[in-house]
Amino acid sequence: MVLNRRIIVTVLVLIALALLPVLLGGAPFYIGVVARAMILAIAAISLNLILGYGNMFSFGHAVYIGIGAYTVGIFAHYDIFNGFIQWPVGLAVSALIALLFGAISLRTKGVYFIMITMALAQMMYFLGLSLDKYGADDGLVIYTRSEFAGLIDLEDHVTLYYVVFGFLLLTVLGMARLINSRFGLVIRATKFNEARMRALGFPVGRYKLTAFVLAGTICGLAGLLLGNFTNFVNPDMMHWTRSGELIFMVVLGGMGSVFGPIFGAITFLLLEEFLSDLTEHWQIVFGPFLILVVLFARGGIDGLLGRKDRSDD
């Protein structure tokens, strides 16, 4: 029964997401809020791969959102709107940067890993700030969204919504497959006992680096979507506090759970929107809420849905 509750809730949430534009026919604003939440959910899912399953505490994950969004922005700046060029390049650059950063930071462990991922992300943030050509802190306005040879019109907000939804489904289902694959098993096993996995002859380092690069690439996808959605990119998107927000989405939703990050991201954004409307001093409520979640709701929202099923653990 416990297992069923999770499945029922998950399916209900996905159906609700699928039908939202129909249900909210005349309210594009909320469609936008949810689209943004789904984009950040993709980013949170990617972070969950390394954070929740791989125990790699990256404090610089927002950097790949920035890279994705900047790719759209910089191409658009040069009047190249073709998504078939923009998107592969964005993903490739995200992967490359993740490879570089992963290779450097995976030499360290524990707190040092947290700090070095943050330092590398901060370097990218300052790089963005100094890019005069691309607006420095003003960033770039993306006047035209990615074009796909007339196949998909992202300028239409409902279409964009379903594109985001499609990618979210793809990401979450792909992740579910991945973590149950041999690769996923190795990654999850290293979380519990890295030395043993090493002793068993697994090239643990290479597995971890692969997961790190994969997470960065998927997060780059979220960045591509976010750039298109907000019509805008600036270095703020890469600031360490944004990485912190992503981490919170993962924890809020439930670490190491496939669908958790979706719940986390949506709850986080709705909470932010709702609380900031309620009072200007919303952070005085939000801060302690964060602490309470950490202290008492260890499993996040996913944890409220009952014990984890075995394949998921």
Partner 1 sequence: MTWTLLLEQSLNGFQLGIVLFLMAAGLTLVFGIMDMVNLAHGSLYMIGALLCATFTEWTGSFLLGVLLALPAVLVVGILVEVVALRTLYKRDHLDQVLASFGLILFFNELARIVWGPEGMAIPLPAWLDGSIEILPGVPYPTYRLMVIVVGLAVAAALYWLVVKTRTGMLIRAGASNRTMVGALGVNIGLLFTLIFGLGAALAGLAGMIAAPIVQANIGMGESILIPAFVVIVVGGIGSIRGAFIAALIVGLIDTMGRSFLDVLLGTFMSANAAETAAPALSAMAIYILMAVVLFFRPQGLFPPQGRG
Partner 2 sequence: MTIGKLSAGFVAALALASLPAQAASVKIGFVTTLTTPAGVIGRDMQDAFNLALEDIGGKMGGLDVEVFYEDDGFKPEIGKQKTDKLVQKDDVDFVAGYIWSHVLLASQKSVLGAGKFLISANAGPSQLAGKQCHENFFATSWQNDQTPMAMGEVLNKRGVKSLYVIAPNYAAGKNMVAGVERSFKGKIVGKDLTKWPGQLDFSAELAKARASKADGVFVFYPGKAGGAFMKQYQQAGLNGKIPLYSVFTVDSLSLPLFQKGKLEGVMGSYMTQFWAPDLDTPQNKKFVDGFRKKYNRYPSFYAAQTYDSMFLIKSAVDAVKGDLTNKDGMRAAMAKADFPSVRGSFKFGNNHFPIQDFYLREVVADADGNWTTATRDVVYKDHQDPYAKDCKM
- Which residues are at the interface with partner 2 (CB under 8 A)? 27-30, 32-33, 36, 126, 129-130, 132, 135-139, 141, 143, 230-232, 234, 236-237, 273, 276-283
Q: Classify the C-alpha dihedral 148-150-155-157 as positive or negative.
A: negative
Q: Classify the C-alpha dihedral 65-128-75-161 as positive or negative.
A: positive
216: Cβ–Cβ under 8 A, 6 or more apart, which residues?
Answer: 46, 61, 64, 94, 95, 97, 98, 99, 101, 102
118 belongs to the binding site for partner 1 (CB under 8 A): yes
141 belongs to the binding site for partner 1 (CB under 8 A): no
- The amino acid sitting at 12 is L
What is d(CA 125, CA 129) in angstroms, rounded to the nearest whole number? Answer: 6
233 strand-pairing partners: 140
**Minimum distance from residue 66 beta carbon to partner 2 (Å):** 12
User: Position of tokens 């990615």?
Assistant: 146
Instruction: Assess contact for 82 and 220: CB atoms under 8 A.
Output: no
The stretch near partner 1 (CB under 8 A) out of 32-40, 61-69, 112-120, 304-312 is 112-120
What is d(CA 24, CA 85) in angstroms, rounded to the nearest whole number? Answer: 33
278 belongs to the binding site for partner 1 (CB under 8 A): no
64 belongs to the binding site for partner 1 (CB under 8 A): no
Q: For residues 212-271, which are near partner 1 according to CB under 8 A?
A: 240, 244, 247-248, 251, 255
**Minimum distance from residue 124 beta carbon to partner 1 (Å):** 9
**Minimum distance from residue 20 beta carbon to partner 1 (Å):** 29
For binding to partner 1 (CB under 8 A), which residues are involved?
Answer: 51, 57, 59, 104-105, 107-112, 114-116, 118-120, 122-123, 126-127, 129-130, 132, 240, 244, 247-248, 251, 255, 281, 283-284, 286-291, 293-295
